[in-house]
């Protein structure tokens, strides 16, 4: 298969972790007979340094010409970096919001998986973590409360703020379809999370999700109120496969789910639109405190590359191979500093990439 992959190395540890993910992708290409052609794209601080702005039309057009984009992370230290002397719309993070919008990336996927070898880092009680968990949060990313009309005004002498939570059936249908498609590649369970006992937007959400479910008879659909879901994530996380939810609920639940894994350097993510295109990036930031020191954990980026193989290119076997290689390296006791524990072997960013690539 011939794949055009846009690469945003970005800032901080970005170039180091992306370099290792490319190493692993090159190994996949060699082993399975694919051709990956990379196109370097500028975003965030790296773009400000060259063009004075965090995102250019050229980057958007180049990204659109690719099948997928693999990203490291963007941004710097807000206290010391000159990028943060600029007005907010010209800072690195504005570039990321801009590219998500320009590429219409409405579906955000964040897996939360508990590796047996890293169970000690899980903050949950041992009898709960012993069951393990492997879930994926599918969050709607371009609608709902964060994008509705808002205002603050004085009403009868009282300061009053209004935010609007609105979803239409098309927005719900397209994200629900994405969730069911992905559930078909996993354990075939979707839990749709809403607040249908209170909100009209949630009642419509539930209705449309049920309609979409009719096209996926193999997938088991359940519904859960968001307050209950927040509890269940720490009480019985093993019950979840795909959690489908709207923007704000997903924002909160995906952070909760990722924190219960206990390992930020391990968490991948993907943002998809209604084609096969996706932007794949680790869930963590650019870690300026350890940039350039060969200390960053590249696994979240390598697993993001695996998601790209699975969801954009439908290369499930190759994605499985990358994920198995990561598990193998952990099983053999190799760890970067962030996940290091007694009895394990300290590994640099470069060594971790080599070890994973070697096991594919
Ligand atoms: P961060 O995730 O960069 O770092 C938090 C802590 O985790 C730091 O101690 C860091 O060293 C550590 N860490 C993060 N990733 C690691 C890895 N792969 N290996 C080892 N340790 C790792 O969060 P922050 O410090 O709040 O933000 C730093 C910058 O990143 C800011 O400019 C922020 O805006 C940006 N950011 C970017 C993205 C993105 O590109 N999508 C996301 C979040 C934050």
Is the pLDDT reported for residue 128 higher than 90? yes
Higher pLDDT, 258 or 110: 110
Which of 87-91, 115-119, 306-310 has the highest average model confidence (pLDDT)? 306-310
Question: Which residue's CA is minimally distant from atom 13 of ligand 1?
Answer: 287
Q: For residue 60, how many other CB atoms are within 10 A of its CB? A: 17
Per-residue pLDDT tens digits for 148-193: 899 999 999 999 999 999 999 999 999 999 999 999 989 999 999 9
pLDDT-based confidence at residue 198 (cuts at 50, 70, 90): very high
pLDDT-based confidence at residue 252 (cuts at 50, 70, 90): very high
Q: Give kind and range of the element (H or E) at residue 335.
A: strand 334-335
Per-residue pLDDT tens digits for 203-216: 999 999 999 999 99
Tell me the pTM. 0.91
**pLDDT for res 121:** 83
Pocket perturbation via mutation, ligand 1, pick of 7, 286, 291, 300 by most ligand atoms within 8 A of CB: 286
DSSP letters of 149-208?
A: -EEEEEETTEEEEEE-----HHHHHHHHHHHHHHHHTTTSEEEEEE-TTT-HHHHHHHHH
251 is catalytic: yes
Is the pLDDT reported for residue 355 higher than 90? yes
State whether the beta carbon of 284 lies less than 6 angstroms from ligand 1.
yes
**pLDDT for res 319:** 97
Pairing of strands 220-225, 189-194: parallel
| 150 DSSP β-pair partners | 163
pLDDT-based confidence at residue 264 (cuts at 50, 70, 90): confident
DSSP letters of 13-66?
A: THHHHHHHHHHHHHHHHHHHT-EEEEEE---THHHHHHHSSS--HHHHHHHHTS
**pLDDT for res 38:** 98
Is the pLDDT reported for residue 336 higher than 90? yes
146 is catalytic: yes
Mean pLDDT of the chain: 96
Per-residue pLDDT tens digits for 163-175: 999 999 999 999 9
State whether the beta carbon of 14 lies less than 6 angstroms from ligand 1.
no
Q: Residue 131 Cα, ligand 1 centroid: separation in angstroms?
A: 29
């Amino acid at each position: 298969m011939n794949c055009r992959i846009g690469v945003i190395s970005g800032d901080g540890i970005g170039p180091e972790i992306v370099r290792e993910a490319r190493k692993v992708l090159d190994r996949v290409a060699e082993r399975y007979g694919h051709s990956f052609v990379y196109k370097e794209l500028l975003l965030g601080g790296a773009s400000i340094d060259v063009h004075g702005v965090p995102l250019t039309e050229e980057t958007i057009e180049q990204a659109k010409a690719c099948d997928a984009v693999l990203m490291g992370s963007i941004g710097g230290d807000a206290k010391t970096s000159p990028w943060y002397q600029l007005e907010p719309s010209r800072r690195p993070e504005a570039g990321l919001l801009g590219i998500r919008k320009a590429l219409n990336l409405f579906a955000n996927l964040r897996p939360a998986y508990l590796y047996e070898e890293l169970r000690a880092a899980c903050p949950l009680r041992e009898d709960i973590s012993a069951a393990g968990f492997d879930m994926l949060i599918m969050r709607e990313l371009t609608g709902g409360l964060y994008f509705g009309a808002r205002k603050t005004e004085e009403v009868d002498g009282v300061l009053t703020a209004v935010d609007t939570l609105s979803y239409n059936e098309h927005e719900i249908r397209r994200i629900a379809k994405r969730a069911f498609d992905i559930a078909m590649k996993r354990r075939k369970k979707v839990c749709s999370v809403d607040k249908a006992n209170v909100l009209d937007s949630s009642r419509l959400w539930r209705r449309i999700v049920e309609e979409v479910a009719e096209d996926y008879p193999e997938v088991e659909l359940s519904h859960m109120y968001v307050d209950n879901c927040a509890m269940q994530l720490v009480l019985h996380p093993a019950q979840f496969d795909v959690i489908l939810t709207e923007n704000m609920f997903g924002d909160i639940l995906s952070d909760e789910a990722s924190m219960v894994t206990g390992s930020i350097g391990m968490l991948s993510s993907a943002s998809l639109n209604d084609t096969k295109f996706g932007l794949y990036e680790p869930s963590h930031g650019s870690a300026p405190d350890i940039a350039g020191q060969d200390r960053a954990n590249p696994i979240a980026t390598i697993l993001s590359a695996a998601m790209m193989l699975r969801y954009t290119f439908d290369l499930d076997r190759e994605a499985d191979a990358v994920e198995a290689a990561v598990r193998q390296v952990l099983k053999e006791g190799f760890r970067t500093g962030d996940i290091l524990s007694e009895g394990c072997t300290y590994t640099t960013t470069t060594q971790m990439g080599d070890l994973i690539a070697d096991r594919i």
